[in-house]
Chains A and B, each alone.
Chain A
Amino acid sequence: GRQAGVSAEMFAMPRGLKGSNMDGIPEVLDGNLEEPRFQESELRSQDVMGLTEGDNEASASAPPAAKRLKTDTKGKKERKPTVDAEEAQRMSTLLSAMSEEQLARYEVCRGSAFPKARVAHLMRSISGSSVSENTAIAMAGIAKVLVGEVVEEALDVCEMWGETPPLQPKHLREAVRRLKRKGLFPNSNDGKTMFF
């Protein structure tokens, strides 16, 4: 099974490298919303490694991330440079442990994104008014997370049914069904009440 609890922050590299050091700040977020190489929902690439190569020793650092999920948004302000350096170290360890195929997949995972312009255009046609750049950025980012969640769940379903990728529509539909149960789609009127 997959590490459902792995934090999205898990391998987040130097988060902004606050202070005078500008080297870490990624040159992204225009054009294509491509993520920087060192800040992303790494949990998905981790799961990918689990899928393609069986158990990967490098994922041994996964457990602490589960509790990191809770504290991370709070602890961000108190994060010292050493913690970032640690994470950078772990990240490079992880990367060096990856196979060619994993690296290729990881690179695509990080680099793929919904184009900001197209998302903004879609939102504009839905809302009837223009949306700010930040709004489009946020929505595109969330949409990508959504795709990741669905694909992950679908891969689980696929495996559970004893089948192999490529994913078929039935896997995706079942995945969506399950995720809706878990409340992963923002729909307060989905009627998934607890007590019958």
Chain B
Amino acid sequence: MADEEEDPAFEEENEEIGGGAEGGQGKRKRLFSKELRCMMYGFGDDQNPYTESVDILEDLVIEFITEMTHKAMSIGRQGRVQVEDIVFLIRKDPRKFARVKDLLTMNEELKRARKAFDEANYGS
């Protein structure tokens, strides 16, 4: 993982994830700015979080997703990212593990409910 914590500067990050070094953040456009702001507030930060902080979290999330994706590709069925791989990778982390299990279960139930609903409508 890039060692971004060593950088003492308040503003510049010099992250290499996106390639290029304009403004230190790379050329990549901010993908999750809006959602992250909401999330930060929801999790206890100020209603208006600092943009620099939001950027740090965005970089963190993208790095996380990238690493997980790469790891998932290297296990199970190579070259593919499958749910089982993700569940396996996250097995040591109780919160994340529980959350994934929950989400997948909920999704199944929802699908089942919708299917039952549709079938009921189709019949009548």
Contact = CB atoms under 8 A, between A and B. Distances in A.
Nearest to B111: A29
Interface string B14-35: 0000000000000000011001
Contacts of A119: 65
A139 B82 contact: no
Chain A, interface residues (CB within 8 Å), range? 35 or more
A122 B5 CA distance: 24
A8 B61 contact: no
Interface in A96-135: 105-106, 108-115, 118-119, 122-123, 126-129, 131-132, 134-135
A12 interface: yes
Interface SS majority for chain A: helix
Interface string A145-169: 1111111101100000000011111
A12 B98 CA distance: 11
A142 B104 CA distance: 12
22 contacts: A28-B106, A39-B102, A52-B44, A69-B94, A109-B41, A109-B43, A112-B35, A127-B80, A129-B79, A129-B81, A138-B87, A138-B100, A141-B102, A142-B86, A142-B100, A146-B96, A151-B43, A152-B43, A165-B46, A167-B45, A172-B53, A174-B5
